[in-house]
A and B are shown apart, each in its own frame.
Chain A
């Protein structure tokens, strides 16, 4: 059974600082997703990572995948308040099914 663990689960960071969210998964997965959820809202797809060494960047967020270590990271550069949200990683094994981590609630404070 595929299990996905994120850490930290809560992250309070100051504006302008950098930080990394980690996502470990337990068995072989052929794709890794990062989603963002604002309070009371739906999930918005941020990144899809499909191969070892994949790196994707959008604005202040950068995601990477190491399939050998079964690890994905979401790096936040020079955080701003607008990035405050809950970030989920999800790993897929085979078609149709995604297993989600518990989410990392990020608060960016002035």
Chain B
């Protein structure tokens, strides 16, 4: 069973479009995250949710809107896509206070904006 899964795995779209990426974890964790990995492989946190509440909201354009319908899901909606949004987006999850709070990462969604 996949612990943290993301869909889609690949996403190619035109500038100006709106798209969503979905993430699900079956680890029973209470915290989920979105990271962006740019072309230079630099990983930066975008958002963190704990028990469906937004905890971390880094300096990210408000075109990016996360939504957590329940503890096992954290989706990312992106409006008016721009060329600079092209990157790999990773979802991760962890359990507060448990297992040294190791974050477990999903397989990534490779977004290419044309």
Chain A interface residues (CB < 8 Å from chain B): 31, 33, 35, 37, 41-45, 48, 50, 86, 88, 92, 95-100, 102-103, 105
Min CB distance, A102 to chain B, in Å?
6
Could you tell me if B101 and A92 are in contact, using CB atoms closer than 8 angstroms? yes
Residue of A nearest to B108 (CB): A42
Q: Mark B37-53, 1 if CB is under 8 A from A, else 0.
A: 00011111100101000
Provide the bound-state CA to CA distance between A4 and B102, in Å.
Answer: 17
Give the size range of B's interface with the partner: 20 to 34
- Asked if B62 CB lies within 8 Å of chain A CBs, one says no
Provide the bound-state CA to CA distance between A65 and B44, in Å.
Answer: 23
- Asked if B64 CB lies within 8 Å of chain A CBs, one says no
Provide the bound-state CA to CA distance between A99 and B44, in Å.
Answer: 7
Could you tell me if B31 and A96 are in contact, using CB atoms closer than 8 angstroms? yes
- Asked if B34 CB lies within 8 Å of chain A CBs, one says no
Partner of B101, one of A44, A86, A88, A95: A95
Q: Which residues of B contact A103 (CB under 8 A)?
A: 41-43
Residue of A nearest to B107 (CB): A42
Q: Which residues 27-77 of B have a CB within 8 angstroms of A?
A: 31, 33, 40-45, 48, 50, 55-56
Q: Which residues 100-114 of B have a CB within 8 angstroms of A?
A: 100-108
Could you tell me if B43 and A41 are in contact, using CB atoms closer than 8 angstroms? no
Q: Which residues of A contact B103 (CB under 8 A)?
A: 33, 45, 98
Could you tell me if A48 and B31 are in contact, using CB atoms closer than 8 angstroms? no
Residue of A nearest to B58 (CB): A97
Tell whether A97 pairs with B45 under 8 Å between CB atoms, given A42-B108, A43-B105, A102-B40. yes
Provide the bound-state CA to CA distance between A13 and B55, in Å.
Answer: 41
